[in-house]
Amino acid sequence: MVKTIAFCTFLSWFLFYGISCCGQSAASEFLTLKRHVEKAPSDVQEVKAIANYLLGPTNTDREKVWVLYAWIQQNISYDHQAYNNGNRRINKNNGDILKRKKAICFGYASLFKEMCEVAGVPCIRVSGYSKGTLTSAPEKEEPDHAWNVVNVDNEWFPIDITWATVEKDYFLTPPEVFILNHLPADPMWQLLNCPINYEQFRLPPNQISTLVDTSSICFDYRDSIEQHQALPKPDRILKASRNAYRFYPSIENRGELGHSLVDYAGRISNRIERLDQEKDLEEVLQLQQRMIEVLKEAVLLVNFYNWQRELFVEVLLNQSVVLYNQTTALQDRSAIEKKLAKAMSLLMMAGEQIENLEPGPYKEQVLQQHQTFFKAVKGEIR
């Protein structure tokens, strides 16, 4: 499945030197835990093992989050090689990050999220737009950075370990401060009841501050987060892409939504494959129809890769076959004609997609199948 990964803008500490944006370091609050973190073994390459060590003396969620944050900050270096190579992630998983001790923003956020899962602390990886300095404008038309939000004492806070340094601390930063140089792709993760928009994010920090919680579009972000987290994971991913595109309808976000829709359709396809095609026929029909609706939306947003178009063709043909076969058990002519008309509509749609397939054996085979079945359905329609 194709998935767009947020690029990562690296912020050197000197870009913020002299700008008081995020308060004093939290290290002074946890002096005893600081010594514990400094004594942590450096050769551990399993997330659960290092997380459990760090969590040993902690008692509160705030302490748990801090030891994880502090250890990553002190032990994981920014991967300049990956950044200079177009932000291509060298690490394949969080184990690789622990082994190499290097990561870009997506890796920092992913490692922290998994550690928080070990700690039992709700944590989300967030993608969004960033500013190299508080006074600069966003650099890209697509999300270019990743960070986290964590729930501590039933309150959500943003946290950015990639940008954390000795000089500047991004530990549980107040949302109204964090928004000055971090804009989540999904406005829900601004953690503001009245979020700002992309154009407002381009303004200087003093103007942004006056806009916080005074936007014309307001909602209870806590309720939104609760509803979002209650969704199945595939639905959460798709909803996030929809929100990002609705929030800022750039060409890049349009493409991200298109590919997210295809990924979602692929997950439905996997679910269909696990069903009994005869026993669970009605569920198969419903799921295939859902796939068709999703792919119809996707093809209007993004240029399909050939394999994505093949997926679309296959579900259109499969659905039309099922509808056609169902007519054999029907006596009512109007019901038969209705199913045949639906099958024909799907076949016509499939024909349009087949025309755009890349030349090759698959296209020749599916075109022949389509023509044969098209004639059969047409011959039954009065």
Mean pLDDT of 166-188: 88
3-state SS, residue 364 = helix
**Separation CA 299–CA 240 (nearest Å):** 19
Residue-level pLDDT at 139: 66
- pLDDT tens-digit profile of 208-224? 888 886 767 788 889 99
> What residue segments make up the domains of the chain, in order of their start?
13-229, 304-382
With CA atoms as reference, report the closest residue to 377 among 351, 341, 329, 349: 341
pLDDT value for 136? 66
Computed from CA positions of residues 121, 240, 286, 306, in that sequence, does the dihedral angle turn out positive or negative? negative
pLDDT of residue 26: 62
Distances (CA, A) of 253 to 1, 52, 129, 382: 17, 38, 12, 46
By residue count, the chain amounts to 382
Q: What are φ and ψ of residue 184, in 5° steps?
A: -60, 145
85-121 pLDDT, tens digit per residue, is 765 667 778 888 998 888 989 999 999 999 999 999 9
Q: Which two tokens stand for residue 237?
A: 């991913």
Output the six-digit token pair for 208: 């942004």
Which CATH code fits 13-229?
3.10.620
Residue 218 and residue 211 in contact, taking contact as beta carbons nearer than 8 Å: no
Arithmetic mean of pLDDT, 52-70: 95
What ranges in the chain are assigned the alpha helix state H? 31-38, 47-55, 61-75, 80-84, 94-100, 105-119, 175-178, 198-201, 205-211, 221-229, 233-247, 251-273, 281-299, 306-326, 333-355, 361-380
Of the ranges 40-44, 203-207, 277-281, 305-309, the best mean pLDDT one: 305-309
Answer yes or no: pTM beyond 0.85: no
Q: How far apart are CA 247 and CA 219, in angstroms?
A: 14
Residue 372: CB atoms within 10 Å: 9
Is the model's pLDDT at 19 over the cut of 60?
A: no
Q: What pLDDT is stored for residue 94 in this prediction?
A: 87
What percentage of the chain reaches a pLDDT higher than 90?
Answer: 62
Per-residue confidence band for 131, with pLDDT thresholds at 50, 70 and 90: confident
Amino acid at residue number 79 = D
Task: Report, in this order, helix, strand and coil percent for the chain, each rounded to 5.
Answer: 60, 5, 35
Structure-token pair, residue 1: 């499945």
Closest CA to 175 of 154, 191, 153: 191
For residue range 356-373, list pLDDT tens digits in order: 999 999 999 999 999 999
How many CB atoms neighbour CB 239 within 10 A? 16
Q: Angle 61-75/31-38 helices, nearest 10 degrees?
A: 40
pLDDT at 265 over 80: yes
Q: Is 335's pLDDT higher than 70?
A: yes
- 183 class by beta-carbon count within 10 Å (0-12 exposed, 13-18 middle, 19+ buried): buried
Q: Answer whether residue 353 shows pLDDT above 50.
A: yes
Is pLDDT at 18 greater than 50 in this prediction?
no
Average pLDDT on 344-357 reads 95
Query: Tokens in use for 35?
Result: 């010594």
The answer to whether 73 touches 170, Cβ cutoff 8 Å, is: no
d(C-alpha 151, C-alpha 157), whole Å: 6
- DSSP reduced 3-state for 147: strand
Better pLDDT: 42 or 58: 58
Q: Specify the pLDDT at position 167.
A: 55
Span 21-35, mean pLDDT?
Answer: 68
Q: If you ran DSSP here, which 8-state letter would residue 160 be given? A: -
